[in-house]
């Protein structure tokens, strides 16, 4: 990019200066004057930029489930035709991450996006209306503890683009959640389910039994933080966002189904404990020399040593609480699953409910807007 070339040019100036004063080792100077080296850096940059754009986006509260699948499908598009080792590795890693997720939920999120509906999935994978219908019914029952009665008919209307599901109406809305809220008056069940799907915040999604292995919080910006702090931040953040989602769903519930109560007993406990450094996580280091503070929920723990001690106490208290919660979580889980009529088999537990990311889509998906806008910013420099 031009920004990079500019900084490259500046660097060259510095190099020339340093060369005159002879205070840089010659091997470094040779490297700096090597054009291929700069080209390699530029190529690396072109690989990293989309990841950076998408990670930035997925860490924001506005990120939605459909964005996650879109991002994965986009990267798959980029790499699946490559013959080099790097591309093959990327495909392998994307697939292995994708396999760990609750694919039915992510696929529903895509399906309920008015831009995509049933037109994007590979027909030979039987991701058709009846299959989606089963999942939609499942999630409706689990989330609202009510028997869906008309949701399939409503899904069918959505697929057939009957008002308010036509493209003209959908094009009025930038925000998909707003769109589904708008349609609430026209459906009994589907819209409220869709609002729930699109209000799942992907970066606190461990709450929703999702992505427990994702490392959104442990990002490049924060990865100097120790695991314990990251974990506590994840907990806090998850709780705040979870409370907000619950509150919103309750309000909607009262609005629509005056008599049903949402069971939020499937609490944040499970899964959220799993921020585990895996082989796939690039770890830059946990050194504490410099803790970047740029987010409202981050503490500058090194600003004064007392705060640091206090923080440590809070942390150890938290981890004790957590251990208790975890035990309780296990207990309540086994209690609930002992009564099969109360708890349905979870579609995500079905090991056949997995699809190859590379085969999932029959169309080329557009470049995610996060990537587009980042490239725009860079090109304006
Ligand atoms: C979330 O809700 C619970 C129960 O209503 C409350 O005790 C807790 O303080 C809330 N947490 C936050 C971070 O608001
Ligand atoms: C959670 O589940 C327990 C039993 O599993 C039940 O006694 C309790 O009322 C439930 N809480 C809520 C808020 O639904
Ligand atoms: C940690 O827990 C102990 C007792 O369990 C309590 O006295 C103390 O105030 C707690 N400290 C913090 C910082 O929450
Ligand atoms: C598991 O998923 C496969 C593929 O969607 C489906 O054919 C099968 O019926 C499912 N099994 C159960 C028990 O839900
Ligand atoms: C659709 O799925 C089948 C079976 O997995 C696969 O062979 C085919 O290549 C896929 N089509 C596309 C366009 O990806």
One DSSP character per residue, 178-222 reads HHHHHGGGG-SSHHHHHHHHHH--GGGGGGGT--TT--SSS-TTT
Ligand 5 site-directed mutation target among 124, 364, 365, most atoms within 8 Å of CB: 124
Q: Same domain for 77 and 191?
A: yes
* Joined tokens for residue 287: 């050194």
Q: Same domain for 292 and 364?
A: no
Rg (CA), the chain: 24
Q: How far apart, in whole angstroms, are the C-alpha atoms of residue 289 and residue 277?
A: 21
Q: Same domain for 155 and 261?
A: no
Within a domain: residue 340?
A: no
**Is pLDDT above 50 for 217?**
no
| pLDDT band (50, 70, 90) for residue 64 | confident
Ligand 1 site-directed mutation target among 236, 239, 246, 249, most atoms within 8 Å of CB: 239
Within a domain: residue 35?
A: yes
Helix, strand, or coil (residue 151): helix
Q: How far apart, in whole angstroms, are the C-alpha atoms of residue 197 and residue 108?
A: 8
Q: How far apart, in whole angstroms, are the C-alpha atoms of residue 307 and residue 229?
A: 14
Within a domain: residue 369?
A: yes
Distance of CA 304 to the CA centre of its chain: 34
Q: Same domain for 140 and 21?
A: no
Contact indicator for 74, 371 with CB cutoff of 8 Å:
yes
Q: How far apart, in whole angstroms, are the C-alpha atoms of residue 224 and residue 311?
A: 16
Residue numbers of the domain that contains 25: 2-50
Q: Tokens 């910013």 sit at which residue?
A: 377
Q: Same domain for 194 and 237?
A: no
Number of domains in the chain: 3
Q: Same domain for 294 and 183?
A: no
C-beta pairs of 111-117 under 8 Å, 24+ apart in sequence? 112/66, 112/158, 112/180, 112/194, 112/197, 112/198, 113/66, 113/176, 114/165, 114/167, 114/170, 114/176, 114/179, 115/170, 116/66, 117/158, 117/159, 117/161
Nearest to 144 by CA among 344, 290, 280, 9: 344
- Atom 2, ligand 3: which residue's CA is nearest? 317
Q: Which atom of ligand 1 is nearest to the CA of 239?
A: 13
Residue 265: CB within 6 Å of ligand 2? yes
Q: Same domain for 180 and 213?
A: no
At 127-148, the pLDDT tens digits run 889 999 999 999 998 888 889 9
Q: Same domain for 69 and 46?
A: no
Q: Same domain for 213 and 192?
A: no
**Ligand 2 centroid vs 336 CA: distance in angstroms?**
10
Q: Same domain for 172 and 72?
A: yes
Residue 247: CB within 6 Å of ligand 2? no
Q: How far apart, in whole angstroms, are the C-alpha atoms of residue 166 and residue 261?
A: 31
**Ligand 1 centroid vs 188 CA: distance in angstroms?**
30
Cis amide linkage into residue 164, ω under 30° from 0:
yes
Q: Same domain for 237 and 273?
A: yes
- Atom 13, ligand 4: which residue's CA is nearest? 350
Q: Same domain for 31 and 154?
A: no
Within a domain: residue 380?
A: no
pLDDT mean over 251-261? 46
Of 245, 277, 305, the last residue of a domain is 305
Nearest to 187 by CA among 144, 159, 158: 158
Within a domain: residue 315?
A: no
- Of the listed ranges 8-22, 188-202, 214-228, 288-302, the least confidently predicted one is 288-302
Within a domain: residue 56?
A: no
Within a domain: residue 189?
A: yes
- In this prediction, residue 24 carries a pLDDT of 67
* Joined tokens for residue 248: 């919103």
- Atom 12, ligand 4: which residue's CA is nearest? 350
**Is pLDDT above 50 for 367?**
yes
Contact indicator for 137, 152 with CB cutoff of 8 Å:
yes
Within a domain: residue 59?
A: no
Contact indicator for 206, 234 with CB cutoff of 8 Å:
yes
Q: How far apart, in whole angstroms, are the C-alpha atoms of residue 231 and residue 181?
A: 33
Mean pLDDT of the chain: 71
Which of residues 247 and 48 earns the better pLDDT score?
A: 48
What is 254-304 written as a DSSP string? HHH-TT------S-TTTTTT-----TTS-------S-----STT---TTS-
Stated as kind and residue range, the H or E segment containing 375 is: helix 369-380
Q: How far apart, in whole angstroms, are the C-alpha atoms of residue 218 and residue 329?
A: 24
Q: Tokens 């999932």 sit at which residue?
A: 360
Q: How far apart, in whole angstroms, are the C-alpha atoms of residue 175 and residue 178?
A: 5
Predicted TM-score of the model (pTM): 0.57
Contact indicator for 95, 72 with CB cutoff of 8 Å:
no
Nearest to 55 by CA among 379, 374, 378: 374
Of 305, 338, 367, the last residue of a domain is 305
Contact indicator for 299, 240 with CB cutoff of 8 Å:
no
**Ligand 1 centroid vs 240 CA: distance in angstroms?**
7
At 167-216, the pLDDT tens digits run 999 999 988 989 999 999 899 899 999 999 988 877 654 343 333 333 44
**Ligand 5 centroid vs 361 CA: distance in angstroms?**
8
- In this prediction, residue 252 carries a pLDDT of 63
């Amino acid at each position: 990019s031009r920004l990079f070339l500019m900084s490259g040019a500046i660097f060259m100036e510095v190099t020339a200066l340093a060369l005159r004063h002879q205070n840089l080792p010659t091997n470094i100077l040779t490297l700096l004057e090597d054009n291929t080296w700069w080209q390699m850096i530029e190529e690396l940059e072109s690989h990293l930029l989309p990841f950076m754009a998408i990670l930035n986006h997925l860490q924001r509260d506005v990120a939605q489930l459909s964005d996650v699948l879109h991002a994965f499908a986009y990267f798959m598009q980029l790499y699946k035709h490559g013959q080099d080792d790097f591309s093959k590795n990327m495909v392998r890693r994307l697939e292995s991450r994708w396999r760990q997720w609750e694919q039915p939920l992510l696929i529903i999120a895509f399906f309920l996006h008015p831009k995509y509906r049933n037109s994007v999935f590979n027909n030979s994978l039987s991701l058709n209306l009846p299959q989606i219908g089963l999942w939609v019914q499942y999630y409706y029952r689990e989330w609202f503890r009510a028997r869906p009665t008309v949701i399939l008919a409503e899904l069918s209307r959505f697929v057939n683009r009957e008002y308010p599901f036509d493209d003209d109406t959908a094009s009025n809305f930038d925000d998909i959640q707003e769109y589904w809220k708008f349609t609430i008056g026209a459906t009994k069940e589907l819209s409220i389910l869709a609002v729930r799907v699109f209000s799942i915040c992907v970066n606190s999604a461990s709450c929703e039994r999702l992505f427990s292995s994702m490392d959104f919080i442990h990002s490049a910006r924060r990865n100097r933080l120790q695991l314990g702090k990251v974990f506590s931040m994840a907990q806090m953040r998850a709780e705040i966002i979870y409370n907000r989602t619950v509150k919103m769903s309750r309000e909607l519930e009262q609005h629509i189904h005056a008599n049903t109560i949402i069971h939020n007993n499937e609490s944040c406990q499970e899964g959220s404990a799993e921020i585990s450094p895996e082989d796939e996580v690039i770890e830059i280091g946990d050194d504490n020399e410099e803790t970047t503070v740029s987010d409202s929920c981050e503490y500058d723990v090194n600003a004064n040593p007392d705060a640091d001690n206090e923080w440590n106490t809070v942390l150890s208290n938290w981890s004790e609480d957590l251990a208790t919660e975890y035990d309780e979580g296990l207990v309540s889980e086994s209690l609930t699953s002992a009564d099969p009529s109360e708890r349905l088999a979870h579609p995500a537990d079905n090991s056949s409910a997995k699809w190859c990311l590379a085969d999932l889509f029959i169309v080329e998906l557009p470049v995610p807007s996060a990537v587009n806008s980042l490239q725009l910013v860079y090109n304006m420099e």
